[in-house]
Amino acid sequence: MRIQDYQCSAYKNNSGSGLIEVAVGFMFFMVIVLTFLDLQLVLHGATLNDAIARDAARAASAGPPGKLIESKDRVLANNDAPFKRASSVVNSRRTTLSSPFEIADSIDVTETVEPPIPSELFGGPVMGTVTVRTTILIHPRFILGFLKIKTIPLTASKSFPYSWVIKSDMDGKSRNTHQ
Q: Looking at residue 134, what is its pLDDT?
A: 96
Distance separating alpha carbons of residues 67 and 55, to the nearest angstrom: 22
Q: Is residue 3 a part of any domain in this protein?
A: no
User: Is 7 among the domain residues?
Assistant: no
Please check whether residue 177 lies inside any domain of the structure: no
Q: Please give the pLDDT value at position 103.
A: 92
How many whole angstroms separate alpha carbon 103 and alpha carbon 105? 6
Residue range 90-103, pLDDT digits in tens:
999 887 777 889 99
Please write the tens of the pLDDT for every residue from 114-169: 888 888 788 888 889 999 999 999 998 888 777 888 899 999 999 999 878 888 87
Domain enclosing residue 152, as ranges: 18-166
In a domain, 12, yes or no: no
Q: Is residue 118 part of a domain?
A: yes
Residue 4 lies in a domain: no
Q: How far is the CA of 172 from the CAs of 120, 165, 166, 169, 176, in angstroms?
A: 10, 18, 14, 6, 12
- Geometric angle at alpha carbon 68, from 66 and 69, rounded to 5°: 110
| Per-residue pLDDT tens over the stretch 8-63 | 555 556 677 888 889 999 999 999 999 999 899 999 999 999 999 999 999 999 98
- pTM to 2 decimals? 0.78
Question: Do 131 and 111 touch, CB atoms closer than 8 A?
Answer: yes
Domain assignment of residue 2, yes or no? no
For 123-173, the DSSP string reads: -EEPEEEEEEEEEEEE---SHHHHTT---EEEEEEEEEE---EEPP-TTS-
Residue 75's DSSP bridge partners are: 110
Is residue 69, in this structure, part of any structural domain at all?
A: yes
Total domains present in the chain: 1
Query: What number of other Cβ atoms are within 10 A of residue 62's Cβ?
Result: 14
